[in-house]
Structure 1
Amino acid sequence: MKGSQEFKIILVKLFNDILEYQESALSTTEFKDLTNNDIHVISAIGMNTKKSMSMIAKELTVTFGTLTISMNSLVRKGYVVKERSEKDKRVVLVNLSQKGERAFLKYEEFNDEMVKSMLENMGDVEMDTLMSALVKINRWIKKRLP
């Protein structure tokens, strides 16, 4: 297929560069103790919500045990608060602390700036083509997730 090798190189590089930039952008702020994994967990929790650990594990497509390790680290760092459900004591609910909410907002700001700069001066046809390609990539990935 014409251009597939170039596409692969750009896609992999783009993915890695975004992760590297994201980590470096956060590491220069008060959130320097956060890893990319941490920020994705914080993002999955979201603002002003209490979610069960199982809901978050499913959303992130990780095991409950893997999420527990990440969550305990985020609790120690002061980003997340854990509590038992009043209805079912077996269920652990989590929400962001004030520090966690600030990190969430910083991450959202980072994403908004990145998208704004990427779409700057892009015409409607280019935008439609890009969106179509991204939807296809996302569909392909979703089909292969457990």
Structure 2
Amino acid sequence: MDELIPEINSYLVTIFNEILIIEEGALQSSTFKDISIKEMHTIEAIGMYGIHTTTEVSKKLSVTVGTLTVSVNNLVKKGYVERIRNDNDRRVVKLGLTKKGRLLYRLHDKFHRDMVKETLEGLNREDAEMLIKGLKNLHIFLDRTKNNL
């Protein structure tokens, strides 16, 4: 099994880099060229449906509320995100996507769905379940490593 480590590592590193390059390139060549990949991930964390507090979104992104606030300020100015105040407690601010933000979210989500469908092409159910098991193991490792920082 150890002999497979270099090949698997090479694929993981290459895939990670290629996804970022493709996502950045797609944004820059689209009508959404005013959005950075970091801002795109903020839009993704806010989500298509519902509204979330800045604390909830910052936890999803593993950033401080202050760091998120800077990004959200830019996204509000650009028309992708809106701040929604609670009528009962004006101090409570939630985040939601505008129509423009939801359109961008759907386009980004389509890229991810297409990527997963292509990954599963030619795999049977058992193969796909083994892929999921490996990805879960990777996720657990990354989560544990992140938490130890």
| Counterparts of 1:78 and 1:17, CA distance in 2 | 28
| Corresponding position of 2:90 | 89
Query: Deviation per CA, 1:49-81, whole angstroms, max 9, x where unpaired?
Result: 121111101111110111011101111111001
- What SS does the corresponding residue of 2:3 show, helix, strand or coil? coil
Which amino acid counterpart does residue 59 of structure 2 have in structure 1?
A: K
Structure 1 moving runs of 4+ over 3 Å: none
Q: Is 2:133 the counterpart of 1:132?
A: yes
| Corresponding position of 2:74 | 73
| Counterparts of 1:144 and 1:89, CA distance in 2 | 38
| Corresponding position of 1:10 | 11
1:87 offset after TM fit, Å?
Answer: 2.9
- The gaps in structure 1 that reach 5 residues or longer are none
Q: Tell me which of the two structures has the higher relative contact order, counting C-alpha pairs closer than 8 angstroms and 6 or more residues apart.
A: 1
Query: Deviation per CA, 1:69-120, whole angstroms, max 9, x where unpaired?
Result: 1101111111001133223322221110110010011111111111111211
- Structure-1-length-normalised TM-score: 0.91
| Counterparts of 1:50 and 1:131, CA distance in 2 | 29
| Counterparts of 1:25 and 1:66, CA distance in 2 | 25
| Corresponding position of 2:31 | 30
- Structure-2-length-normalised TM-score: 0.89
Once superposed, what is the RMSD of the aligned Cα atoms? 1.5
| Corresponding position of 2:53 | 52
Query: Deviation per CA, 1:3-49, whole angstroms, max 9, x where unpaired?
Result: 32332222111111111112212322211111111111111111231
| Corresponding position of 1:122 | 123
Q: Is 2:144 the counterpart of 1:143?
A: yes
- The gaps in structure 2 that reach 5 residues or longer are none
- What SS does the corresponding residue of 1:2 show, helix, strand or coil? helix
| Counterparts of 1:43 and 1:26, CA distance in 2 | 14
Identity, % of aligned positions: 35
